Structure 1
Amino acid sequence: MILFYLFFQGLTACHAQPETHDEVPSPPKRELRAVWVATVDNIDWPSQKNLTPDVQRQEFTNLLDFYKQVGMNALFVQVRAAGDAFYAKSTEPWSEWLTGEQGRAPVPFYDPLDYMIQESHRRGLEFHAWLNLNRLVHRSSTSVSAQNLSLTHPAWILSYDGAKLFNFGLPEVRQFITDMTVNVAQNYDVDGIHFDDYFYPYAVAGQTLDDEATFRKYGQDFASKADWRRHNVDVLIKQIHDALTAVKPRLKFGISPFGVWRNRRDDPGGSNTTGGLTSYDHMFADTRKWIQEGWIDYIAPQVYFSSGFAKVPFRNLVDWWADNHFERHLYVGQAAYRVGYKDKDKTWQNASELPDQVRYARTSGADGSIFFSSRSLKANALGFVDSLRTELFRFPALVPSMPWKDNVPPLSPRHLRATTHPGGVELLWNAPELAADGDSAWYYVVYRFEQGEKPSAHDPRRIVGLCHEGQRFVDRTTKPDKKYLYYVTAVDRLHNEGRPIGPLRLWIHENRLQRYENEVSEN
């Protein structure tokens, strides 16, 4: 028991090198494995406008079951796509991509966000509410409600490239965006709030973003309009961070920007890349500053480039972010949609490209990956999803903990016991007492070792169960006349793992379940 206890002392950080079994490196014990589910223009869900609520729900649970089988542990679902809402508790109108007409409620009525969160949590998947923070009307919009802010507050709006966008230079706009974000956090049991890469818009030839009047009113203290625009977004991000922290401190807040902050040729602190676009210079988003200041809990740069793309090589950009995420989490945004692409970059036609990117992200020190997007993953181009299911995500992974938000682990489960079950061995235990911070268990981890095997808390190949509902688990993979050791741990909402209860030593002998004493010292 002493040895196993010592292994558990470092679990919250989980930066130790994994142990090996049979000279094969262990897969990561902690890793975010996530997918973006886009709703704008019905990219991923629902599959089309105006499906019945029953069909919408069925499509979503099918997605959840698919990603659970693949090995994912989180989803980022777009719940505000363009001045609209996929949830009931909103001042903005219902989305046309949900009901067919912006402002029309589902019939029969239901709250999609409540449903999606509940079903995700039942399956042990984190649910992050993905909000587009600048669009009021999308280029593909066919329905604009009279309640759309582009009509009710036209002074807040800038027109650009066929879209209606917020003017971030206005304090009242920034306050509305903050209030809209806090509303989701207060009214829904989401695990996180997530923004994508749309701040100031991507430049379009021949188009001008006309915020000159706002700049004259508010920008007199800045050397350039570019500096003023960056300041506007800085103020917005910090304001949202502060507001979310005040209402729900445990909530995760993160952003997925365009992958390149700045190129080294323009800034000695930039990445070894030569791409034409950067978030700092062209979207006026100082993404490196936000994570350095601790305004966001993770950054998920969209590293949608291949390893063979000369201007922005995948590895160069991942290496730069690995050196610039300042003790917050780094999740690498990866381009599942590009797998099998037949364009000038032939690298995407290589079936090993994206699996190799996942492997490289792991070795670089990233905390996980998010794939864009669901439809592309489900297509399984070049067998990529097969490689996740059978190799890269074959074994479970806990979501990385965030000690700056919560570093108090839950207490141990109580009264671990076992009984026979038609399908194998049934383990039962009682919930732990409340920890010092008032947390109990959000879920449980069941470890199994064979007799004589050194217990280790770092190897996910020894996890036989992740239990998100109740305090029982049926191990259906036991074999007759084998002796096993079981341990069970409790994990809280922020994925801190407590000390184990155990070992429970079991022997299935002559179709009977027996306890046995330790025959070899574990000390």
Structure 2
Amino acid sequence: MLKMVIRILRRHSIMLCACILACTVILTLLLKPANQQPEEKEPVAVSRQSQGENQAADVFAPNIEERTEEMRGVWVPYMSLSMSGETDRSEAAFRAKFQQIIDVSKEKRMNTLIVHVRPFSDALYRSELFPWSHILTGTQGQDPGYDPLAIMCEMAHAADMEIHAWVNPLRIQVNGTPEELCEDNIFNVCKRDEERQDWVVETSGGKYLNPAYPGVCKLVADGVGEIVRNYEIDGVQFDDYFYPTEDEAFDQQAYEAYCAQAQKSGTELSRSDWRLANINAMVSLVYQTVKAENKTVVFGISPQGNFSNNQKLGADVEKWCSVRGYVDYICPQIYVNFDNPALPFAETAEAWRDLVTASKVDLYLGLAVYKAGSDADEGTWKQSDDIIAKQVDLGRELSYDGFMFYSWEYLDTEQTKEEVQNVMKVLEGEN
């Protein structure tokens, strides 16, 4: 009963701090220099040192419901939700599919589902900004006749589980998936609009939004905002996909435009730092948008466990972990075992623990249940059936706030059976 009351309070309160934030944003827009170019046309030109250190973050009160139990989340990727290959694509069939996800997750002692709701600048929910995902009907843009996210929220909460909306912020199409983009897809929309053609980039591997433009950052933030505003979710999560390549051709025109502007003030950043600043600007705006809509909804990011890889992707994990106003939680994907020579698990987990210094930023361990019992990493995952169980033990010793497991499909397979059983024993304190 208490949880139900708390949930009602969380869902229907738009607090005074949101009004304060909105006024702050409006005043900022009104007071900007008159000769500034319209933001949707101008590449981001910000300093990493100042971007994201939100004074507005200080007005956000603690969550109404402080987490009192350990996070035990499991990722539910879009493949697990796909209806495109099913003969029956009805709402009843989708509900049956998601009920199985809930049942298995509950049986394996999970308490949170991280569900993929925007994998390719599309939507598993009714959106005014993004077309329906192809995984629902086989055709991008086709209305399935029901609202998957509304159903998933209803069913997860009925099962006393939290649900976080998993979003890929910049990805549009990768390696031919989805096969065809509908006319309303943002890539096609931008290509038809001369003023927004630079918002999207096509590479040999796919199509992406370009975060160098404030208009793109606003689109991403607005997309998250409508999820928080319209659905009974408990959190929003970005995964580890930001810049898809280090190739300078990806954003050459935008970077040159930024340099031309920055040189006048002597504040020019390297391309790497400029990309970090672009992603920081986007992440900061998303955080502010989430809190303006509902300050009790948490926003988190699950970056790669490898620090150097994050740098290449434009993910400024050090900033996110040390400064309030970016995330409520961070969940590094440390998808290696203790014997990995390039990225030993124990040392990596300790390094992430040391990195999180900002107050009220929770730290979760992202663990690779999908590798258990497999030939991955030169067969080292077959040397023991309690690798992940020991990783959970270490996470607790290091005072992590919980765990997230990738992915749902591997909670109940023959390959991972013994490992998952040992993890369950540890979760329940039976070891």
- Which residue among 268, 278, 293 is the counterpart of 1:247? 293
Name the CA distance, whole Å, in 1 between partners of 2:74 and 2:245: 23
| CA distance in structure 1 between the partners assigned to 2:143 and 2:106 by the alignment | 30
- TM-score, normalisation: structure 2: 0.76
Letter in 1 for 2:165: A
- State the secondary structure of the residue aligned to 1:321: helix
Aligned pair partner of 2:153 in 117, 128, 149: 117
Q: Which runs of 5+ in 1 are unaligned?
A: 1-11, 15-28, 262-276, 396-459, 461-523
Distance verdict in 2 for CA 1:147–1:45, change over 3 Å: same
Which TM-score applies when normalising by structure 1?
0.63
The reply on whether 1:142 has 2:145 as its aligned counterpart is: no
2:81 partner SS: coil
Measured after TM superposition, the shift of residue 260 of structure 1 is: 2.2
CA deviation vs aligned residue, 1:425-446 (integer Å, no higher than 9, x gap): xxxxxxxxxxxxxxxxxxxxxx
Between 373-382 and 145-154, the greater mean CA deviation after superposition: 373-382
Q: Write the distance in 2 (CA, Å) between the matches of 1:360 and 1:47.
A: 38
Q: 2:221 aligned with 1:178, yes or no? A: yes
Larger helix percent: 2
Residues 94-493 of structure 1 mapped to structure 2, 5 A cutoff: 94-106=132-144, 109-139=145-175, 140-154=177-191, 155=197, 156-202=199-245, 209-219=249-259, 220=262, 221-261=267-307, 277-280=308-311, 282-294=312-324, 295-326=326-357, 327=359, 328-349=361-382, 350-380=384-414, 381-389=416-424, 391-394=425-428
Going from structure 1 to structure 2, the CA distance change for 1:60 and 1:351 (only over 3 Å counts) comes to same
Query: Judging changes above 3 Å, is the alpha-carbon distance between structure 1 residues 364 and 209 closer, same or farther for their aligned structure 2 residues?
Result: farther
1:62 partner letter: Q
**Cα distance in structure 2, aligned partners of 1:254 and 1:153:** 28
Relative distance call for 1:334 and 1:96 in structure 2 (3 A) is same
Distance of 1:115 and 1:258 partners within structure 2: 30
1:13 deviates by: 8.7
In the alignment, the residues of structure 2 paired with residue 13 and residue 38 of structure 1 have an alpha-carbon distance, to the nearest angstrom, of: 27
* Residues matched between the structures, number: 346
Query: Does the 8 A contact of 1:158 with 1:165 survive in 2?
Result: yes
1:93 aligns with: 131
* TM-fit CA distance, 1:355: 1.3
- 2:365 maps to a residue whose letter is V
Q: Quickly say closer, same or farther: Cα 1:317–1:213, change in 2 above 3 A.
A: same
Quick one: higher RCO (CA 8 Å, sep 6+), 1 or 2?
A: 2
Identity, in percent, stands at 30
Equivalent residue of 1:175, what SS? Answer: helix
Give matches, 1:2-21, under 5 Å. Answer: none
Deviations 1:61-110 (A, max 9, x none): 1110111121111010010000110001342111111111000111xx21
Counterpart of 1:392 in structure 2: which amino acid?
A: V
Q: State how far apart, in whole Å, the 2-side matches of 1:119 and 1:305 are.
A: 33
Partners of 1:259 and 1:301 within 8 A in 2: yes
Q: Post-superposition shift, 1:217?
A: 1.4
State the shift of 1:47 in Å: 6.0
Contact 2:166 2:238 in 1 (8 A): yes
Cα distance, 1:257 vs structure 2? 0.4
User: 1:79 touches 1:85 (CA, 8 Å); kept in 2?
Assistant: yes
Cα deviation for residue 353 of structure 1 reads 1.1
The superposition leaves residues 116-167 of structure 1 with CA deviations (integer Å, 9 ceiling, x where unpaired) of 0010001111000000001112322112100001100131111123211011
Q: Is the 8 A contact 1:308 1:345 kept in 2?
A: no
> Are the counterparts in 2 of residues 159 and 209 from structure 1 also a CA contact under 8 Å?
no
Judging changes above 3 Å, is the alpha-carbon distance between structure 1 residues 318 and 132 closer, same or farther for their aligned structure 2 residues? Answer: same
Offset at residue 361 of structure 1 (A): 1.0
How many angstroms does 1:394 deviate by?
3.2
Once the two structures are TM-superposed, the CA of residue 344 in structure 1 deviates from its matched residue by 4.6
What's the CA shift string for 1:278-302, capped at 9, x where partnerless? 202x111111201211121110001
Structure 1's 348 and 147: CA in aligned 2 closer, same or farther, altered over 3 A? same
Q: Which moved more, 1:137-146 or 1:80-89?
A: 137-146
- State the 1:358 CA deviation: 1.3
Aligned-pair CA distance for 1:321: 1.1
Aligned to 2:73: 34
**Offset from partner CA, 1:261-292 (integer Å, 9 cap, x none):** 2xxxxxxxxxxxxxxx4202x11111120121
Moved >4 Å (runs of 4+): none
Cα 1:212/1:361, change in 2 over 3 Å: same
